[in-house]
Amino acid sequence: MLRSIKALVLFGLFLCLPLGAQAGHSHAHQGPVASVSEAELTAQARDTLRLIKQGGPFPFPRDGAVFGNFERRLPKQTRGYYHEYTVKTPGARNRGAQRIVCGSLPECYYSDDHYQTFRRIRE
């Protein structure tokens, strides 16, 4: 009796999980990422992209840090493939929400909402 109650409880918990989590890939990357042309980026994002292409120097200590892609919003790659860079946000007292994340150049992505969404930067 106790065994069947445990089984029912576990099954009920399983049903409450989002569909992707039931399959074992919660927040998995879902198809192609939207894109944005370099010309459509803000002036600050274009400045950051220029610094990335020339290898720095970067204004923020975290620029160039490994981006883990834990939410899997970008295509799956090995750990250490992606690196993040801050896009200066006018009027912000901190780093703000804008980032550029790059793999092997020219593969770079722009996020204006602190990694919630990404757009691949087209040259």
Catalytic residues: 84, 114
Which residues lie closer than 8 Å to 56 by C-beta, 6 or more apart?
63, 64
Query: Checking phi first, is residue 12 left (phi over 0); if not, alpha (psi -120 to 50) or beta?
Result: alpha
